[in-house]
Structure 1
Amino acid sequence: MIKRDYQLKYMSWPQIKNKIDSGCDTVIIVLASTEQHGLHLAECTDEIIGLGFACGLAERLKNALVAPPIIPGLSEHHLALPGSLSLKKDVFRGIARDYVDCYIRHGFKKFIFISSHGGNMQETKTIVEELQAAHPDKLLRNTLSLEFLMKLFSSFEKQYNMPVGSCGGHACAFETSVMLYLEPELVNMEEAKAGFVGTPDKEFLDNMFKYGIVGVSEIGVIGDPTVANAELGEKFFNAVLDEMEKCLI
């Protein structure tokens, strides 16, 4: 279960003011999504995972609070499957700008962005660069990129003797394990099935761009969630947090 201790939405305004006055000058902003995650995971998966990372990072930093996650995200490639939502890029970018503008008015000085959905990551990089240029007296940092995460997933597969491609990046062994660690009641392992497992080649990318997720996996899974477990989830979770901390040094 994700702690509420650092989440702004569970605090009263006097509590928030006291936190700011006592040195909490940092806001962690999660850019998540509401989208399909295969047969076994809830559509709030990216929100839960992002919020888990944000609260874990806030606990380590000691001077940070966590904003309400920005959802939905950029999920056009998932819309073929029911329940998925997607924002237009200008709307998505505008919400992120408004978050920062509001929190600056309240006295926050540092902003850490965590994109927990791969489809948001390139846009998140652009958002952080634009906001840093607009607010040179503030500090804005981005913690994750898709390229970096895929390298990390590959290292997990080798380290824990997992099948190659099982941590494929969507409703996979990684996401399922982390969800089993954070919110197991939102995981139905009896329904877990492997989707696309392999190396994303040109044909994979062409089909993804042309048809969306269903062009590469009818069930909306990239990877193999059947090898997931909560013990792996805890290890993955802490390893990602370690890497996020390195980004902030």
Structure 2
Amino acid sequence: MIGERLQLRYMSWPDIREKIDSGFDTVIISLGAMEQHGLHLPECTDETIGIGLSCGLAERLGNALVSPTIIPGLSEHHMVLAGSLSLRPDTFKAVVEDYVQSYLRHGFKKFIFLASHGGNMDTTIKLIDDFKIIFQDSVFLNALTLDRLIAILSRIEKESSMPIGSCGGHACAFETSLMLYLAPAYVRMDKAKPGYVGPPTRELVETMFKYGVTGISEIGVLGDPTMATEELGKKFFEAAVEVMYQYILEQTKEE
């Protein structure tokens, strides 16, 4: 796994204390999910991608450590398919707040939330607004919004001459490629099949949230995972990390 040395879960407490004392004042918390990802990807897909992207961002920032991913997330729209888990919104908020409270006690001052699951993204914006009021001496930043993600998918889809909608946002060429890059042993490309293939618009996402994923795709896939490759996964990874890094720099340049 990319960036194990920056993951708090693999560090001893003296190592963590030393990092904080030496200026590592930022913790990246990925907000993932435990849910279905079509016929070819495991339930842990969002967790795996979230940790990978968080480690990539931490490497770029140079003063950040990576929290264990918060799972499960808000996945009610996937509950129709076996194995998915979903927290109630109040429970989800309480868990995230407890993570923040814990890390504040250890001396972290800046919190970067990275929602690796689309169902968490709008809620993450609201959480940050609330936390800025509750924890006024701390900094809260949102690394990846739904609109920012859609822009990345559309750009690379076009650059790679892929059919529009191949990167639909769920178990698609995007997520499958990232998994081939980050954790290929978990990918079953022989099982990969296209689901709904069309532009990953906000309207489409809102329809899925309202009616559930099978209201759009019987197999729970938005996009075409058969287009996925490890090389494309590296391209997506580097693009997403760069977009997030530049956003964080822009938000913190006046400090």
Scaled by the length of structure 2, the TM-score of the pair is 0.94
- Whole-angstrom distance in 1 between the partners of 2:142 and 2:65: 16
Q: 1:100 and 1:21, CA in 2 relative to 1: closer, same or farther beyond 3 A? A: same
Give, as a single letter, the amino acid of the residue that structure 2 aligns with 1:232. Answer: L
Offset from partner CA, 1:51-71 (integer Å, 9 cap, x none): 001011111111110111000
Match runs of 1:1-249 below 5 Å: 1-199=1-199, 208-249=208-249
Q: 1:205 and 1:181, CA in 2 relative to 1: closer, same or farther beyond 3 A? A: closer
Q: 1:206 and 1:139, CA in 2 relative to 1: closer, same or farther beyond 3 A? A: closer
Deviation at 1:15, TM superposition (A): 1.0
Give, as a single letter, the amino acid of the residue that structure 1 aligns with 2:223. Answer: G
State how many pairs are aligned.
249
Deviation at 1:49, TM superposition (A): 0.4
Deviation at 1:33, TM superposition (A): 0.1
**What SS does the corresponding residue of 1:124 show, helix, strand or coil?**
helix
Give, as a single letter, the amino acid of the residue that structure 1 aligns with 2:197. Answer: V
Q: Do the aligned residues in 1 keep the contact of 2:30 with 2:50 (CA within 8 Å)?
A: yes
Moved more, 181-190 or 194-203: 194-203
- Whole-angstrom distance in 1 between the partners of 2:204 and 2:101: 39
- Whole-angstrom distance in 2 between the partners of 1:201 and 1:67: 30
- Whole-angstrom distance in 2 between the partners of 1:2 and 1:30: 15
> Which sections of structure 1, spanning at least 5 residues, go unmatched?
none
- Whole-angstrom distance in 1 between the partners of 2:148 and 2:239: 13
Q: 1:204 and 1:97, CA in 2 relative to 1: closer, same or farther beyond 3 A? A: closer
- Whole-angstrom distance in 2 between the partners of 1:206 and 1:57: 28
Please report the RMSD computed on the Cα atoms of aligned residues, expressed in angstroms.
1.6
Q: 2:253 maps to which residue?
A: none
- Whole-angstrom distance in 1 between the partners of 2:133 and 2:205: 33
Deviation at 1:145, TM superposition (A): 0.9
**What SS does the corresponding residue of 2:49 show, helix, strand or coil?**
helix
Q: Do the aligned residues in 1 keep the contact of 2:121 with 2:145 (CA within 8 Å)?
A: yes
Deviation at 1:206, TM superposition (A): 7.8
Give, as a single letter, the amino acid of the residue that structure 2 aligns with 1:56. Answer: G
Offset from partner CA, 1:12-62 (integer Å, 9 cap, x none): 111111111111111000000000000000100000001001011111111
Deviation at 1:204, TM superposition (A): 5.4
- Whole-angstrom distance in 2 between the partners of 1:132 and 1:108: 15
Q: 1:174 and 1:206, CA in 2 relative to 1: closer, same or farther beyond 3 A? A: closer
Deviation at 1:211, TM superposition (A): 3.5
Deviation at 1:203, TM superposition (A): 9.3
> Which sections of structure 2, spanning at least 5 residues, go unmatched?
250-255
Deviation at 1:208, TM superposition (A): 2.8
Give, as a single letter, the amino acid of the residue that structure 1 aligns with 2:122. Answer: Q
Aligned-pair identity in percent equals: 59
Q: 1:190 and 1:62, CA in 2 relative to 1: closer, same or farther beyond 3 A? A: same
Give, as a single letter, the amino acid of the residue that structure 2 aligns with 1:81. Answer: L
- Whole-angstrom distance in 2 between the partners of 1:206 and 1:4: 35
Offset from partner CA, 1:152-208 (integer Å, 9 cap, x none): 211111111011100000000000001000000010000000000014689956863
